[in-house]
Amino acid sequence: MTHYEIESLWVKDRLDVAFSFGDIVRVKSGKGLGGRIVALFILEPHPTYVIELPDGSSVTAIEPDLELIEGDTGAKLTLIEQ
């Protein structure tokens, strides 16, 4: 499955993963790092997300290492195939 296909299914809530676009999470092992989920990067062996930090930088983390702080922020993602 391509990254575009993964993101397309994720945006439509058709993947069995714990987090959605815009969810606010904390990285359990990251010294209190927290931010907003902005992408689902890969599915196997663990779903891996890109988290945008408050300073504008980003980190990746696997699903078991994340803790939900605030869900359903109302953020929406639209994919445009290029």
Task: Judge whether 79 lies within some domain.
Answer: no
Our count of domains for the chain comes to: 1
pLDDT tens digits for the chain (82 residues)?
Answer: 888 898 888 888 899 999 999 999 999 886 778 899 999 989 999 999 999 999 999 999 999 999 998 866 555 545 455 5
Using a cut of 0.75, tell me whether the model's pTM lies above it: yes
Burial class (CB in 10 A: 0-12, 13-18, 19+), 4: exposed
Task: Judge whether 25 lies within some domain.
Answer: yes
CATH number of the CATH domain containing 15: 2.30.30.60
Task: Judge whether 78 lies within some domain.
Answer: no
> Range of 36's domain?
3-70
Task: Judge whether 43 lies within some domain.
Answer: yes
Strand partners, 67: 26
| β strands within the chain, DSSP E | 24-27, 34-42, 48-52, 58-62, 66-70
Task: Judge whether 54 lies within some domain.
Answer: yes
